[in-house]
Chains A and B, each alone.
Chain A
């Protein structure tokens, strides 16, 4: 295999023209979509519009496409990059020439991605992120895979050029596929998900469609059945109930399918590769992504599971890193891990984490607040159902009250916190069981919060922020809160350790 020389300015793969063309054409049509529809409809209706015939329209369209193609080719020709010893150089621009230089040491992340089109023509895009704002990211949209991997490696190989060879061999040898998800486990993961979110999404969607059609159905049937309506009163009510039940069942089914399909698409062929220092995640069906995790940049670990998942031994691990934009942050999630694999990963990412420390729970005040919350929620629900559906709808409380009781019970049961010498672990969740782990020396800010009502009972909450997430230890006694506060600050300030 011929290796690419990055020291001379090079263009991306010539297939890049297709990618740029497709991307520009897509964004062009997206922008003028409404205009197109309006134009198209009026032409369809009148066969011509101000002397413009459909053929002329087509020609114009073709012209626009050709212009986009020419621009794409020019963009491709003017897009050159190369690496010097310490910097990454990029020259872009057709008329306005831009010359970007990024020092290797300032590069925060390098992603390799592959969307659907890129998969077809077998190229990948490389995204380079710096710590600056969003606009400062650079994307090279078409490289063949070996070149991309080499580029990534060279970008991360900072100034230490001398022992470059040795290191490269090292990393190649040390890397092994640690975890690969099987379709069966992915299916289980999809099924055992918390379906509430997709349920709500689909429900609103279905309800929207239903109410649209209801008007339509009314128009059709009411006039026919006006005389029959009085007689068939009971039947129609039954019908109404049946249709509603059917709709709800369909929605439940759909939300199931929706969760499963999205889990599959996002996590297709999920693969965790262990390198010597870093961990690499590869996944995705339509959008293939390849991300690497660097332990020093990790701020929080969030482990999620639930009752059903525990039964199937499924755990998911989200890694929150500093200096990663919110959109990418979502991708740093590994699903369907077994318990041992999870522990292994945690140990790899957090050195010396051994889950020690005494478990402490929030004060019973937590229950009081949860009950109050549920009460408020219940009042809102009751008022809404009373207002919208009448007095019969109050049976909703039959469902709601047990739900509320279970909610409060589990919320309190699952809430705990644990402080050891170097780590802070916080458990929470109601349906899900969430565990938040952070390294104490990565704390950026500590905040003690107390409302006016909590002053009498001496209750306070602690909010602890790292560079990527804030976690809360809710409702503990003020004395304890202060001692934790002092301890955390002492830990952060007494040891001169970097947070990144």
Chain B
């Protein structure tokens, strides 16, 4: 069989583009916002800290405002991107695999077949516990970095998915 044959066949195959992806929990946006705010205050604080340290030198005075505005522009840009990117974080579970889509600038759709999953983990940071969220980590035997981690799932749902996957993984063995 060659590739042209395959084209016809693919018409009947289950399509990943037809899967209705579910957005992650809205409250995860709050966590992103808090994280970003912490980052921005850190950055701006750094600029002022620099100013304080080299205040004695006159010529640095001018550069500092450029630096500050550059940092602020970066922050605003970063903020907008992460707000828009939030909408792109979606996931779905099919009978045989888990699908996760993310990214605004580089949009990616990753699929891990359940038969290839080694183990599942559900972890919660302090903030996530506060908002009732959890991160679902899916480990495959793939090379480092090819593991999937779905952030910002409602805790109950994360637990359910984890149960389903573990059942299937253990059932297969």
- Write the residues of chain A forming the contact surface with B, with a CB cutoff of 8 angstroms: 322, 356-358, 360, 418-421, 443-452, 455, 465-470, 482-483, 485-487, 489-490, 492-493, 496, 499-500
Contacts and interface: CB of A to CB of B under 8 A. Distances in A.
B4 to A, nearest CB: 6
A451 B14 contact: no
B146 A446 contact: no
B6 to A, nearest CB: 6
Interface stretch (B59-67, B105-113, B125-133): B105-113
Interface residues of B, number: 33
A487 B10 contact: yes
Contact of A445 (B2, B15, B96, B112): B112
Contacts of B105: 451-452
Q: Which of B3, B105, B108, B146 lies at the interface centre, i.e. has the most chain A CB atoms within 10 A of its CB?
A: B3
Given A419-B3, A445-B110, A489 B143 contact: no
A358 B4 CA distance: 8
B142 A447 contact: no
B107 A445 contact: no
A356 B2 contact: yes
Given A358-B3, A465-B143, A449 B115 contact: no
Given A420-B2, A445-B111, A483 B96 contact: no
Interface string B14-43: 111100000000000000000000000000
B2 A485 contact: no
29 contacts: A357-B2, A418-B3, A421-B1, A444-B116, A444-B140, A445-B110, A445-B112, A445-B116, A445-B148, A446-B111, A447-B111, A448-B109, A448-B110, A449-B106, A450-B108, A452-B104, A466-B143, A470-B143, A482-B15, A483-B7, A483-B13, A487-B10, A489-B111, A489-B113, A490-B13, A492-B115, A493-B96, A493-B97, A499-B116
B141 interface: yes
B13 A468 contact: no
A445 B142 contact: yes
B108 A500 contact: no
A447 B104 CA distance: 15
Contacts of B141: 322, 444, 467, 499-500
Contact of A469 (B96, B112, B140, B143): B143
Contacts of A470: 142-143, 146
B107 A466 contact: no
Q: Which of B7, B97, B108 lies at the interface centre, i.e. has the most chain A CB atoms within 10 A of its CB?
A: B108
Given A489-B111, A489-B113, A499-B141, 13 more contacts: A356-B2, A357-B2, A360-B3, A421-B1, A444-B140, A448-B108, A451-B105, A465-B140, A467-B143, A468-B143, A482-B16, A492-B116, A493-B115
Nearest to B106: A451
A358 B5 CA distance: 10
Contacts of B10: 483, 486-487
A257 B106 CA distance: 44
A455 B13 CA distance: 24
Q: Is the interface of A mostly helix, strand, loop or mixed?
A: mixed
A443 B111 CA distance: 11
A483 B116 CA distance: 21
Instruction: Enumerate the 8 nearest inter-chain pairs by beta-carbon distance, A residue then B residue, closest first.
Output: A444-B142, A493-B96, A358-B3, A483-B10, A465-B142, A465-B146, A447-B110, A467-B141
A388 B148 CA distance: 45
Contacts of A450: 106-108
Interface string B81-116: 000000000000000110000001111111111011
Interface string B71-86: 0000000000000000
B15 A486 contact: yes
Q: Which of B110, B140, B143 lies at the interface centre, i.e. has the most chain A CB atoms within 10 A of its CB?
A: B143
Q: Which of A449, A451, A465 lies at the interface centre, i.e. has the most chain B CB atoms within 10 A of its CB?
A: A465
B113 to A, nearest CB: 5
A172 to B, nearest CB: 34
A449 B106 CA distance: 7
A145 to B, nearest CB: 34
A444 B112 contact: yes
B1 to A, nearest CB: 5
A496 B115 contact: yes
A470 B113 CA distance: 16
Contacts of B96: 489, 493
A322 to B, nearest CB: 7
A486 B97 CA distance: 12
B109 to A, nearest CB: 5
A84 B110 CA distance: 45
B111 A485 contact: yes
B120 to A, nearest CB: 14
Contact of A482 (B6, B9, B17, B104): B17
Nearest to A419: B3
A486 B13 contact: yes
Q: Which of A420, A468, A492 lies at the interface centre, i.e. has the most chain B CB atoms within 10 A of its CB?
A: A492
Contact of A489 (B3, B4, B97, B104): B97
A372 to B, nearest CB: 16
Contacts of A360: 3
Contacts of A420: 1-2
Contacts of B13: 483, 486-487, 490
A492 B146 CA distance: 17
Contact of A357 (B3, B14, B107, B115): B3
A499 B115 CA distance: 10
